[in-house]
Structure 1
Amino acid sequence: MIRILVYLALIFAAAAGFAWLADRPGEISLVWQGYEITTSLMVGAVALAALFVLLALLLSVLMAVLRAPRLLDGWITGRRRDRGYRALSRGMIAIGVGDVKRAKRSASEAAKLLDHEPLTLLLAAQTAQATGDGAGARAAFEAMLPTQETKLLGLRGLYVEAERAGEHEAARHFAEEAAKTSPGLAWAGEALFAYQSSSGEWQGALQTLGSNLQAKLIDRTAAHRLRAVLLTARGLELETGNPEEALAAALEAVRLAPTLVPAATLAARLAGRQGDIKRAMKISEAAWKQGPHPELAEAYLSVRPGDAAGDRLKRAQRLAELAPSHPESHFAVARAAIDAREFTEARRALSGIAEAAKTERYWLLMAEIEDGAEGDRGRVREYLGRAVRAPRDPVWMADGYAFTAWAPRSPVSGKLDAFEWRTPSMALADDPRPLLNLDLSPAAADASAPPAAEPQRPVALELAATPVASAREPAPPAPNGTVAKATAEPPIPDDPGVDDGTAPRIDRMRLQ
């Protein structure tokens, strides 16, 4: 529209100029080399205008002749480019529908017609992946690395290929390189964090988590929870070598995730070792209000080493007042009362437990009370029999397996914060053969996914026979990520009057 207006303006100006000359007649005389040319002013102006037009036409023809080779080359290149993009489009569509042969043919054609086009490398890589040519796919992705605009695409493809091939070190290298190139890249940040946490690099995982939070790749609430888990893991790692730094990490973890029981128990334990008994008790009490837990009770009762059993009982009663209706409060008081040989107090504490909450631990404590107070072996065996049939107590579970202790990551899948304190779904096992067979080596722990073989197969978990006399002593915690060992157990003697000092406990279960 603007161009038309400019043309109209020029025509109007020329017409106005000729009209102005027509109103002012005159003559033009030219004398050159003895020749004299005389004409009117209007004819001279028209001749001059015609001369300019002729010169413009000649210049246009000359420029067209000079530009003809380049125009021809551009036309040929344009047709070649169009054919290349059509071949590229056909190849992408063929990959989408699974026509590998057509995709391969189109990829070859597009590579010949389109030079330095990133999409041709992508089509070649996808075609190689579709045909199972891992080497070809890696070569195509590696060809993208030198160019800045395709570097991240090449790193992503190499990462995926390395993951498929099980080359986790190489995959981690590509993820690290991508995270350095583009800190806000979601897949790179998440992959690097997963590798660092699964390999136990807690400090590096903390830094990567902070970068992911800054890049808004993770929700702040979820980031605080994961940071608390990482700090707890680091505190456990530094507990013996650097208790001051371990305590600082544990306290920050408690602040970020007040419901994380392992963080609270670690902080209370470390504070107690450093002589800050008051702080240790406050940490345990605050965590107990969030959710009573047997590990919190043990940490609270053991806050001052060397205390008499009576002092531990008073401390347990004080803790129970913070959550008087919770079963764990009754269990904590009963455990401390049994240790103090206050069996009447222990019975009173257990009497407050509702019928639905009478789990295996309840009947085992009742058997221990009966054994210590009356020595009625028949009643002891009755309680032990009820314990076998009672509902199971909550345990630490991750990826469907029961563990004896909490760990920051699952030894099955390597996932961070996979442990939950919950009651497993169990039934009596008909087949005593143990089915739980896990590879807990570091290589298996670094795997990014659980094994696919029979994921829904029932698991039989058998615990070793536990003498009643030793039930007063807590079992030593197993290393992080250790599954309860499956062992065979002797049957209960038929004669209730025979006391061999063992009173074995049978606990043969199957996790569904």
Structure 2
Amino acid sequence: MLLLLIFLAALAALSLGLHWMLEHPGSITLDWGGYHIETSLLVAIAATLGLIALVIIAWAILVSFFQAPTRLAQSSRSRRREKGFQALSRGIIAAGAGHVGAAKKASKEAEKCLAKEPLTFLLKAQVAQLEGDRVGAETAFHEMTLLSETRLLGLRGLHIEAKRRNDAEAAHLFADQAHQLAPVPWAGHALLEHHGSNADWEEARVAIEANLKAKAIDLPTAQRLRAVVETALAMEKQVDSPSEALHLARQAVKRAPTLVPAIALIGRLLARHGDSAKALKLLEKAYAENPHPDIVAAYLDASPSESNAERLARVKKLALAAPKAPESGVIVARAALAARDFAMARRALAPLVAEGQAPTAQICLLMAEVEDAENGPSGPVREWLARGSRAPRDPAWIADGVISRSWAPASPVTGKLDAFVWTTPPEPIRGPAEDARAGIPAAFLTTRQERLLEAAEIDADSGAAE
């Protein structure tokens, strides 16, 4: 609106000026170089404006003439650039689809047209990876690290390639360089895995705080990882510095109240300090909330010098904290078997092996132990062993496919913190001639169970020979 008003005002002023000049005609006389020119004022103004217009046009033509080569070069570069980006688009789509030939052809075309374009290096690296050319891929990723725009992407590619060739030190170096440039999540997680693999818990602590500050992990995750690292430190210090270990374990439980290894460690440390009553009370409360075998083991370790009868009485008290848990029946049966109270052992296991139940491999082996201890080698022993070979597997600590009886702070495969999870292992593929030991890791078998399984294998071999 304002521009329209200004335009109308200028037009009105011009009209008034022309009207005034028409009402006051005048003349202009020019004597120069023997020429005498006399004309009216309006004609002189019009001639001047025309001359100015001719000068402007001539200047524009002259400038265009001299700028023509530059414009042609710019046009050529623009077409070349457009062609390069079209090749990049085709190549990235082909690489994503796994079409190696098309991706490689597009990569060469893009490199020809856009040699310094960051995406060209990325496409080149992808093609090398598709072809299995690790050296070519690393070369492309290295070239990407020389450009500020793609330095992080290049470092990540080098990190991945280093992990593929199992070069842990190189992978850590690239992740550390990336983390110093920008605290990106992948680099922070890689540093944590490296420190976990090397059991460098103090450095892992620093990495957790850096990741939290950079918002690569949220606060609940950081608290859990802190608890895991503090538990690991407590496990290392429990012999030389038990007081410090106890402080660390308590901190871990405050951060992660469900972290069973930390709870069990507190119980053991309190018992070693001579505070068995407090340890038992703590473990009984923990068992009521989470009836876990590690808590049971710590509970039994709290009074190592008691008799079998005394242990049975104490275990029955612990079982009352979680009477419906299968683990309660198992621990009472084991204690009763050690005290040779076979009736008690059978009563404890009866709900777990009743009709309609699916007892696990360990429960079946425990029933075989009871039968063998009470009646000696017999048909029921072999039946329970055979049943155990087909029974569901018992829960265990599992991380990256590794099954372990005991918890560890980090995965033995990748070094990932808090990788071990208490869960049921996947069922093994069973063949037509599965032996009684199938699906039961040797580390989970007691000496008596090993003997029973060996005896069962000998009987099976003898039967096959006959």
Could you tell which deviates more after superposition, 238-247 or 305-314? Answer: 305-314
Match of 1:481 in 2: none
CA contact (8 A) 1:395 1:403 kept: no
Provide the C-alpha distance between the structure 2 equivalents of 1:226 and 1:406, rounded to a whole number of angstroms: 15
Task: Describe how 1:242-281 pairs up with structure 2 within 5 A.
Answer: 242-277=241-276, 279-281=278-280
| Post-superposition offset of 1:285 | 2.7
Residues 382 and 407 (structure 1 numbering): CA distance in 2 closer, same or farther, change over 3 Å?
farther
Question: Of 337, 340, 347, which aligns to 1:351?
Answer: 347
Q: Is the 8 A contact 1:396 1:406 kept in 2?
A: no
CA contact (8 A) 1:284 1:296 kept: yes
Query: Which residue is 2:463 aligned to?
Result: none
**What is the aligned partner in structure 1 of residue 193 from structure 2?**
194
Q: How far is 1:466 from its partner?
A: 5.9
The answer to whether the 8 Å contact 1:145/1:151 transfers is yes
* Residue type at the aligned position of 2:169: E
Amino acid of the residue matched to residue 188 of structure 1? Answer: A
Alpha-carbon distance in 2 for matches of 1:236, 1:56: 88
Give me the whole-angstrom Cα distance separating, in 2, the residues matched to 1:191 and 1:66.
58
Q: Distance in 1 between matches of 2:139 and 2:7?
A: 57
Give the 3 Å change call, closer, same or farther, for CA 325–124 of structure 1 in structure 2.
Answer: closer
The alpha-carbon distance between structure 1 residues 57 and 231, as it changes in their structure 2 partners (threshold 3 A), is: same
Aligned AA for 1:151? R
Amino acid at match of 2:422: E
2:133 aligned partner: 133
Q: Could you tell me how far 1:334 is from its partner in structure 2? A: 5.8
Structure 1's 163 and 410: CA in aligned 2 closer, same or farther, altered over 3 A? closer
Q: Per the alignment, do residues 300 and 486 of structure 1 end up closer, same or farther by CA in structure 2, a change over 3 Å counting?
A: closer
Structure 1 alignment gaps of length 5 or more: 372-376, 435-457, 472-484, 495-505, 507-512
Counterpart Cα distance in 2 of 1:195 and 1:57: 71
Contact 1:238 1:245 in 2 (8 A): yes
For the residue of structure 2 that corresponds to 1:258, the secondary structure is coil
Shift of 1:128: 2.6
Aligned partners of 2:2 and 2:117: how far apart in 1?
37
Q: Check whether the contact 2:158–2:174 (CA below 8 A) recurs between aligned residues.
A: yes
Aligned-residue Cα RMSD (Å) equals 4.5
Report the alpha carbon displacement of residue 74 of structure 1 after superposing the two structures with TM: 1.9
Partner amino acid, structure 2, of 1:50: G
> 1:482 — aligned with what?
none
Match of 1:74 in 2: 74
Give, as a single letter, the amino acid of the residue that structure 2 aligns with 1:356.
L
Deviation at 1:148, TM superposition (A): 0.8
1:434-475 Cα shifts (integer Å, max 9, x gaps): 8xxxxxxxxxxxxxxxxxxxxxxx75755799676xx9xxxx
2:163 aligned residue: 163
Residue 290 of structure 1, CA deviation: 1.4
Decide which structure has greater helix share.
Answer: 2
Counterparts of 1:16-27 in structure 2, within 5 Å, are 16-27=16-27
Contact 2:405–2:443 (8 Å) recurs in 1: no
SS in 1 for 2:85: helix
CA deviations on 1:189-216 (whole Å, 9 max, x unpaired) are: 3333334334433333344344444444
Query: Is 1:122 aligned to 2:122, yes or no?
Result: yes
Q: Offset of 1:102 from its aligned partner?
A: 4.4
Q: Cα deviation per residue 1:23-76 (whole Å; 9 max; x = unaligned)?
A: 333344556688765443322322332233233223323333343332233223
CA contact (8 A) 2:121 2:141 kept: yes
Note if contact 2:396-2:403 (Cα within 8 Å) is conserved in structure 1: yes
Instruction: Give the conservation status (yes or no) of the 8 Å contact 1:84–1:109.
Output: yes
Q: Does the 8 A contact of 2:195 with 2:415 survive in 1? A: no
Distance, in Å, in 2 between the alignment partners of 1:252 and 1:11 is 84
Q: 2:201 corresponds to which letter in structure 1? A: W
Q: What is the one-letter code of the residue matched to 2:92?
A: M
Q: What letter is aligned with 1:248?
A: H
Q: Over residues 81-100 of structure 1, what are the superposed CA-to-partner deviations in whole Å (9 max), with x where a residue is unaligned?
A: 23333333343344445554
- 1:418 and 2:411 aligned: no
Bigger Cα displacement from structure 2, 266-275 vs 422-431: 422-431
Q: Residue 489 of structure 1: which of 433, 451, 454 is its match?
A: 454
TM-score, normalization by structure 1 = 0.70
Distance 1:487 1:13 in 2: 117
Q: Percent of aligned positions with the same letter in both sequences?
A: 38
Q: Using the alignment, how far apart are the partners of 2:300 and 2:440 within structure 1? A: 34
Tell me, which stretches of 5 or more residues in structure 2 are unaligned? 355-362, 461-466
Q: CA shift at 1:266, angstroms? A: 0.8
The corresponding residue for 2:230 is: 231
Q: Does 2:108 align with 1:142? A: no
Q: In 1, Cα distance between the equivalents of 2:9 and 2:99?
A: 60
Which position in structure 2 is the counterpart of 1:378? 375
Q: Matches of 2:443 and 2:56 in 1, distance apart? A: 103
Q: Residues 462, 137 of structure 1: CA spacing in aligned structure 2 closer, same or farther, 3 A cutoff?
A: closer
SS of 1:292's equivalent in the other structure is coil
Q: Is the 8 A contact 2:246 2:266 kept in 1?
A: yes
Match runs of 1:467-506 below 5 Å = 489-490=454-455
Q: Distance between the aligned counterparts of 1:408 and 1:33, measured in 2?
A: 105
Select between 305-314 and 185-194 the one with higher mean Cα deviation. Answer: 305-314
Aligned length, in residue pairs: 446
Distance 1:422 1:92 in 2: 42
- Please, what TM-score do these two structures have when normalized by structure 2? 0.76
Q: Distance in 1 between matches of 2:312 and 2:61?
A: 110
Provide the secondary structure at the position in 2 that maps to 1:489: helix
Check whether the contact 1:162–1:171 (CA below 8 A) recurs between aligned residues.
Answer: yes
Q: Report how far residue 288 of structure 1 moved.
A: 0.9
Pick which of 310-319 and 257-266 moved more. 310-319
Q: What residue is the counterpart of 1:48 in the other structure?
A: 48
DSSP-derived class of the 2:454 partner: coil
Distance 1:459 1:466, change over 3 A: closer
Counterpart contact for 2:436–2:457, Cα < 8 Å: no
What letter matches 1:404 in structure 2? R
Question: 1:130 & 1:312 partners in 2: Cα distance?
Answer: 63
Residues in 2 aligned to 1:107 and 1:402: alpha-carbon distance in whole angstroms: 45
SS in 2 for 1:420: strand
1:149 Cα shift?
A: 0.4
Secondary structure of the corresponding residue to residue 417 of structure 1:
coil
Deviates more, 1:328-337 or 1:112-121: 328-337
Change (3 A) 1:422 1:286: farther
Counterpart of 1:437? none
Gap change, CA 1:179 and 1:62, over 3 Å in 2: same
Contact 2:175/2:188 (8 A) holds in 1: yes
| 2:92 equivalent in structure 1 | 92
Structure 1's 222 and 164: CA in aligned 2 closer, same or farther, altered over 3 A? Answer: same
Secondary structure at the counterpart of residue 143 of structure 1: helix
SS in 1 for 2:145: coil
Equivalent position of 2:239 in the other structure: 240
CA–CA distance in 1 between the matches of 2:220 and 2:125? 39
- Alpha-carbon spacing, 1:287–1:245, altered in 2? closer, same or farther (3 Å): same
Contact 1:224 1:257 (C-alpha < 8 Å) held by counterparts:
yes
